[in-house]
Chains A and B, each alone.
Chain A
């Protein structure tokens, strides 16, 4: 059976004056239904480029992306939005500052006007209904990010592409958003590509991990396998940093 989302041998170069950057070089991946794929790497590793290229926000130089086995290479966000939705790092600015949340969420439904569904989703992401009549500036980053998840679900897209979606949040808020994603995954409602620089975060959330460096995939596999038995030095380095930054034993 075909994968839900698949990328085959993706290439992308950026040219700025004389400077040529190989942002993606022969990257392949797949995502199955009900699964979260974590992509880890430092800034400049090409992980965000990969996400943008899948979504059609960038044009790929080479390679193809497939949804349920069907090639959708070259589609623009207008078309890809029917089956995938992007969750951005800056949650507040992903909503039109002049509109109330409800209107913004409604917009993603492509003509569908189902208020009941919106209320259902808002409570699913753990928010109060009355926030729907507010504008993004009066919501916190965490609340906006939850709204963004509700919006993505309202669009009936199959796949969520999350670009550093918690890195602008406080640790506390981040933990709450991660908890929400874990719950959604348990219910089998979530298939997502989760891009982050924090391998600890990815380990809490993802079934499989792909480690990226300088535009290539250096390691890929089952989350526990990669964390327990990393093959490349770079992954070991990432793990070492993550271990030092997390507090392992806490007296309860």
Chain B
């Protein structure tokens, strides 16, 4: 059996008095893509927040990263992990960049702080696959001048350059066009295949998950109601709820 990179056991997360995640159990093996699928309010984003750590929530249970429990960890240790081992891409990319500094400066700074060389060619290649034309033009501009979709793609590029072991993606495709969403998932797949990055992708669209996942977890009302390999969940769902989610994915009518 492959090694579990992240192993979540009986996790309870609450915002003040509201329980958002209730006893979640799931894991992801090294080099796998895990998709967490659920409607808004299902607790899927809260689960991510529990992994990255946030002062607004109280967490019970354990989150083991390579056997080391993140829950009792101090804030500073946790933050150090966040830069090196764990990468995070959020749905709203606005928080990821300083709005008035050029991308060029911000890219160089982040890479420098993690001892990674700034490779123009690599960046160029990455930008093209993400559908970003004119790399130099983008690097010279500032986040506030860009549309949300553009910022999102640049944030993805930044996270990929950082080359983390575990990449957490919170609803990163839901604000994108279908074509771009597919390009982004392709890029994530490439990252997984070439670098062996482990990826956790949170989405409300099972269609996206079908495209990329090795494992799928379905969340509803704070609970993980189904968890298994992608084939198992997609083609032999055990729960009515999962079947409904499958039915709701828009299908191209070809007949």
Contact = CB atoms under 8 A, between A and B. Distances in A.
The answer to whether A and B touch in the complex, with CB atoms under 8 Å apart, is yes
16 contacts: A42-B177, A42-B179, A172-B39, A197-B179, A203-B252, A203-B253, A204-B253, A227-B253, A237-B179, A242-B250, A246-B250, A247-B210, A247-B246, A247-B251, A249-B235, A250-B246
Contacts, number: 102
Contact of B177 (A43, A170, A247, A250): A43
A175 interface: yes
A201 B207 CA distance: 13
Interface string A139-178: 0000000000000000000000000000000111111001
B contact face: mostly helix, strand, loop, or mixed:
helix
Given A228-B254, A245-B211, A171 B179 contact: no
B163 to A, nearest CB: 26
A32 interface: no
Contacts of B116: none
A241 B182 contact: yes
Given A42-B177, A173-B39, A241-B178, 8 more contacts: A171-B206, A172-B244, A199-B252, A204-B250, A204-B253, A241-B179, A244-B182, A246-B252
Interface residues of A, number: 35
A92 interface: no
Given A238-B178, A241-B178, A247 B250 contact: no
Interface in B208-255: 208, 210-211, 234-236, 243-255
B180 interface: yes
Contacts of B180: 42
A239 interface: yes
Interface string A219-252: 0000110011000000001110111111111111
Contacts of B204: 170-172
Contacts of A214: none
A171 B247 CA distance: 10
A174 B249 CA distance: 9
A65 B251 CA distance: 33
A200 interface: yes
B210 to A, nearest CB: 5
A90 interface: no
Contacts of B246: 247, 250
A63 B40 CA distance: 43
Interface string A172-192: 111100100000000000000
Nearest to B149: A43
A97 B207 CA distance: 34
Contacts of B182: 241, 244-245
B236 A171 contact: no
A171 B253 contact: no
A91 B236 CA distance: 35
Contacts of B149: 43
B198 interface: no
